[in-house]
Amino acid sequence: MTLLWCRAALAATAVLPVASSIQLNLDDEASIRNVTATYAYGMMTYYSNNQTNTPDDKIGNLPAPYYWWESGAMWGGLIDYWAYTNDTSHVNTTRQALVANFGPNADLVVPAQRWDEACFAGNDDQAFWALALMSALEYQFPNPSDSDPQYLEVAKAAFDTMAARWDLTSCNGGLKWQIFPENSYGYDYKNSISNGGFFALAARLARYTGNQTYVDWASKTWDWCQEIGLISDKFEIFDGSDDTLNCSRINHMQWSYGVGIFLHGAATLYNYTNGSSIWEKRTSGLLERSAVFFSPFDNATNIMYEPACETVSTCNTDQQSFKAYLGRFLAKTAILAPYTASSINTFLRASAAGAAKSCSGGRDGVTCGSKWYTGNWDGTNGVGQQLSALEVTQALLATKAGNPGTQADVHIAKPAATTTINLPARPTTTETHPPNDAAAMSTSGKMVLVSVALMAVLSGLRLW
Ligand SMILES: *[C@@H]1O[C@H](CO)[C@@H](O)[C@H](O)[C@H]1NC(C)=O
Ligand SMILES: *[C@@H]1O[C@H](CO)[C@@H](O)[C@H](O)[C@H]1NC(C)=O
Ligand SMILES: *[C@@H]1O[C@H](CO)[C@@H](O)[C@H](O)[C@H]1NC(C)=O
Ligand SMILES: *[C@@H]1O[C@H](CO)[C@@H](O)[C@H](O)[C@H]1NC(C)=O
Ligand SMILES: *[C@@H]1O[C@H](CO)[C@@H](O)[C@H](O)[C@H]1NC(C)=O
Ligand SMILES: *[C@@H]1O[C@H](CO)[C@@H](O)[C@H](O)[C@H]1NC(C)=O
Ligand SMILES: *[C@@H]1O[C@H](CO)[C@@H](O)[C@H](O)[C@H]1NC(C)=O
Ligand SMILES: *[C@@H]1O[C@H](CO)[C@@H](O)[C@H](O)[C@H]1NC(C)=O
Ligand SMILES: *[C@@H]1O[C@H](CO)[C@@H](O)[C@H](O)[C@H]1NC(C)=O
């Protein structure tokens, strides 16, 4: 956030009729819907790759500094947004974005992404797009046109490519972070978000299709993560491990989305197995452990935060979005494992209330910041901030969409949803967004994370 932008924002506030700040009434469904519409609208002002002159390989992608994975994560959030609210405002844009990223083999391996700004295409990136397709399937999001590949075949194909990458050359298995050996950043790292993404995808495909192969892979992936120590006895989810050391050392960083992605996968299998005790124990253990991502201070009980970076203001662009996924996966867990619903609801309500107070910045007066515990906008803005506020708030409406469906439900036609939530007129949003400082400073959050990990390994520091 530059001083210049702050001045411009203040000046604008003085002259423009600013929309009132976010007024969120947690007990009023219409209010929640209204607020989520505002967050989603603000988020979409960052997206412009849906113009008639947009090159095909850019459709569906957010501009720099956002990586490909975060676009997939955003579309996943917007599918849920539609399912939870019936607001169709972003449906066409979302469907176009998904189809444009299926890739030449319809498996979410997209060549254009192989050499994007930082040469990243990870198993985790592919997983986030595949999980978006699972939401599309579970809620019967409008299908691609008949001539395009369909969501299920693409999600299955993505799974198959990941299963084929299960790597026995070190650590007795597991997925590497990166897909391509050319990506020296992270190719030697076996991490929890890649394996957790694969685990959650397998769990959701199991429940959706009823095919035992997916249950087997989910169990195998869970067991491997435990064996290596990425999942601890206390259900902590640690960031990753160096496979050149045969995963003998663990990077003990913990991130909110890590526990979230495993929690939702475990709850899915709990549900699919009609409440088996093994998956109940795992679901409960992860949920209990997720409490470390809440209540940063005595004055912020049950408000979500990112302990590894938020209070010290070092979250990078990727990390600014992580709370979105913990919010998303908690909501889905509450539906699949109803015994968790009341404690999850307590977390979500406090966090949504905190987020609403943080969404009081920028020229429009409703730009979201990242620190929900301060009672105010913290001066940051971005897709991650908008998406996090959106997901933690729409999570309160998740039950409105009914139970996530399975393949057996497909013949039951979903009634056409036609509502569009009309927002009051707001100042035009043609201003270009200021670069996110954190992102501008580090060309790649992922790169920084790995170099910290590697440095610590190489120097033998007892950081973890
Ligand atoms: C939606 O928000 C606007 C202000 O942003 C307000 O004028 C309107 O009354 C709200 N509607 C509901 C149903 O809360
Ligand atoms: C592109 O997406 C934005 C955000 O959803 C939307 O407002 C706009 O109408 C879309 N433009 C086209 C040409 O589809
Ligand atoms: C989406 O596209 C369809 C067909 O192209 C069109 O009829 C519909 O009005 C569009 N919906 C929105 C909300 O833009
Ligand atoms: C590598 O780690 C795996 C998993 O912990 C273990 O089973 C295997 O024996 C180890 N291999 C070597 C050569 O240490
Ligand atoms: C189950 O899924 C696996 C992995 O995609 C596939 O190879 C197998 O054919 C599927 N089985 C059935 C009965 O569809
Ligand atoms: C779960 O219950 C359903 C309905 O009773 C049954 O069809 C299914 O086989 C059960 N699944 C398992 C894994 O026990
Ligand atoms: C499975 O999820 C459904 C909602 O989709 C819920 O009604 C049911 O109670 C869940 N099963 C168990 C064992 O909790
Ligand atoms: C709560 O306390 C923290 C730490 O002192 C502070 O940064 C934050 O602004 C406080 N929040 C509120 C709502 O006062
Ligand atoms: C969406 O609209 C359909 C058809 O009117 C309705 O059955 C469904 O309950 C609505 N869903 C939500 C989340 O409001």
Find all residues with CB under 8 Å of 131, minimum gap 6, and list them: 76, 197, 200, 201, 204
Residue 158 alpha carbon to ligand 7 centre in Å: 27
From 41, 93, 421, 430, mutation site for ligand 2 pocket: most ligand atoms within 8 A of C-beta = 93
Tell me the per-residue pLDDT of 80-131, one tens digit each, with 9 for 90 and over: 999 999 999 999 999 999 999 999 999 999 875 555 544 468 999 999 999 9
Any idea which ligand is nearest the CA of 365? 1
295 Cβ inside 6 Å of ligand 3: no
Measure the CA–CA gap between 267 and 287, rounded to whole angstroms.
Answer: 10
Beta bridge partners of 251: 240
Domains and CATH numbers, the chain: 13-459 (1.50.10.20)
Residue type, 90: H
Bigger pLDDT: 165 vs 423:
165
Measure the CA–CA gap between 157 and 350, rounded to whole angstroms.
Answer: 39
248 Cβ inside 6 Å of ligand 3: no
Q: What is the structure's pLDDT at 280? A: 98
From 39, 46, 50, 53, mutation site for ligand 2 pocket: most ligand atoms within 8 A of C-beta = 50
Q: What percent of the chain has pLDDT over 70?
A: 82
- State the DSSP H helix or E strand holding residue 189, giving kind and residue range, or none if neither: strand 189-191
Q: Which residues line ligand 5 (CB under 6 A)?
A: 156, 160, 211, 213
Q: Is the pLDDT of residue 279 over 70?
A: yes
Q: What is the structure's pLDDT at 240? A: 97
Tell me the per-residue pLDDT of 12-37, one tens digit each, with 9 for 90 and over: 333 344 455 899 999 999 999 999 99
What band does 67 get if pLDDT is binned at 50, 70 and 90?
A: very high
Tokens representing residue 171 in the block? 């650590």
**Residue with CA nearest ligand 4 atom 2:** 171
Q: What percent of the chain has pLDDT over 90?
A: 78
Measure the CA–CA gap between 132 and 324, rounded to whole angstroms.
Answer: 13
For 232-252, what is the mean pLDDT?
97
Alpha helices per DSSP H over 147-191 = 151-164
Find all residues with CB under 8 Å of 228, minimum gap 6, and list them: 171, 172, 174, 190, 241, 247, 250
For 38-52, what is the mean pLDDT?
96
**Residue with CA nearest ligand 8 atom 1:** 299
**Residue with CA nearest ligand 7 atom 9:** 338
**Residue with CA nearest ligand 3 atom 4:** 92
Q: 3-class DSSP state for residue 14? A: helix
Q: Is the pLDDT of residue 60 over 60?
A: yes
What does pTM read for this prediction?
A: 0.89
Measure the CA–CA gap between 280 and 333, rounded to whole angstroms.
Answer: 11
212 Cβ inside 6 Å of ligand 6: no
For 438-452, what is the mean pLDDT?
35
Q: Is the pLDDT of residue 392 over 80?
A: yes
What band does 137 get if pLDDT is binned at 50, 70 and 90?
A: very high
Question: Tokens 């088996």 correspond to what residue?
Answer: 276
User: Distance of CA 204 to CAs 78, 141, 174, 270, 396, Å?
Assistant: 18, 16, 19, 11, 21
Of 137-151, 329-343, 363-377, 442-456, least confident by mean pLDDT is 442-456
274 Cβ inside 6 Å of ligand 6: yes
Q: Is the pLDDT of residue 51 over 70?
A: yes
155 Cβ inside 6 Å of ligand 8: no
Q: Which residues line ligand 4 (CB under 6 A)?
A: 171-172, 227, 246-247
From 41, 91, 92, 94, mutation site for ligand 3 pocket: most ligand atoms within 8 A of C-beta = 92
Cis peptide bond upstream of 65, omega within 30: yes
Measure the CA–CA gap between 287 and 245, rounded to whole angstroms.
Answer: 31
Any idea which ligand is nearest the CA of 357? 8
Residue 44 alpha carbon to ligand 9 centre in Å: 23
* Among the listed residues 108, 113, 148, the one whose alpha carbon sits nearest the alpha carbon of residue 131: 108
User: Distance of CA 44 to CAs 39, 375, 399, Å?
Assistant: 9, 24, 24
Report the nearest atom of ligand 4 relative to the CA of 227: 5
Report the nearest atom of ligand 5 relative to the CA of 159: 5
Report the nearest atom of ligand 3 relative to the CA of 420: 13
Q: 3-class DSSP state for residue 191? A: strand
Measure the CA–CA gap between 120 and 112, rounded to whole angstroms.
Answer: 10
Bigger pLDDT: 418 vs 150:
150
273 Cβ inside 6 Å of ligand 6: yes
From 170, 171, 195, mutation site for ligand 4 pocket: most ligand atoms within 8 A of C-beta = 171
Measure the CA–CA gap between 329 and 219, rounded to whole angstroms.
Answer: 19
Arithmetic mean of pLDDT over the chain: 86
